[in-house]
Amino acid sequence: MKLEISASQRPTHDTSHDRLSVLRDAHRTLIALADGVDSREAAQTAAARTVDELARCFRNGTLPHDPQEWVMLLEGIDHAVLSDPDAGETSALVLLVQQGVVVGASVGDSLAYVVRTVGEEQLLTTSQRKAPRIGTGLACPVGFGPVQLDGKLITRRAARVDAQQLPSAIAATSSSDVSASLGRW
């Protein structure tokens, strides 16, 4: 499986509070995104801590396969970030792609879609809650999946998806070659 990441920057916005981790092994790919509430150092710390915790779970082999387990994992990360006196708040989106299926959870305003090669896009994060976010101790993550990845998996902030603009989002194809392109979602 081939994975490509390219980064494009928003021309006028500070992105120092955004964090991304894409981890792979022979059977799965984890995409973890966090977007601190603002560009303050506390938001940066919250986003980094969230992505680091998800990456640690991947490396330890303790990734959930069920959406509700992803919710519980993000709730645990919420409490860990809250206990860090240097951390503020962040949104989070985590996606596990394994054997052509995607599952995960989100809290905040980042969206995930499957844009099918034939037909309409499918919003995975349909029931997400924008607040409270991770770092409050009250985060309300919402799980999604499992969903067959029969198109492109993209993520972005709350906005209408345009399949022609895939280079400005994380994108993973369902073919044997998986590609991702990081823009500012």
Mean pLDDT of the chain: 76
Give the mean model confidence (pLDDT) for residues 19-30. 88
Q: Is the pLDDT of residue 110 over 70?
A: yes
Annotate 165-175 with b (16+ C-beta within 10 A) or e (fewer): ebebbbbbbbe
| Domains of the chain with bracketed CATH | 18-109+125-149 (3.60.40.10)
At 171, list the tokens: 């994108």
Whole-number CA gyration radius for the chain:
15
Summarised one tens digit per residue, pLDDT across range 36-67 is 887 688 999 999 999 999 999 999 988 898 99
Query: Can you tell me which residue has the tokens 């919710």?
Result: 71
Which pLDDT score, from 0 to 100, does residue 152 have? Answer: 77
Distance CA 73, CA 144 (A): 14
Give the mean model confidence (pLDDT) for residues 140-165. 68
25, 31, 83, 181 from 38: Cα distances, Å: 33, 22, 19, 23
Q: Is the pLDDT of residue 31 over 80?
A: yes
At 179, list the tokens: 């590609």
pLDDT band of residue 165 (cuts 50, 70, 90) is: very low
At 112, list the tokens: 């995930």
Give the mean model confidence (pLDDT) for residues 161-179. 39
Which pLDDT score, from 0 to 100, does residue 128 have? Answer: 67
pLDDT band of residue 177 (cuts 50, 70, 90) is: very low
Higher pLDDT, 79 or 170: 79
Higher pLDDT, 129 or 166: 129
pTM of the full predicted structure?
0.77
Q: Is the pLDDT of residue 160 over 70?
A: no
Which pLDDT score, from 0 to 100, does residue 96 have? Answer: 93
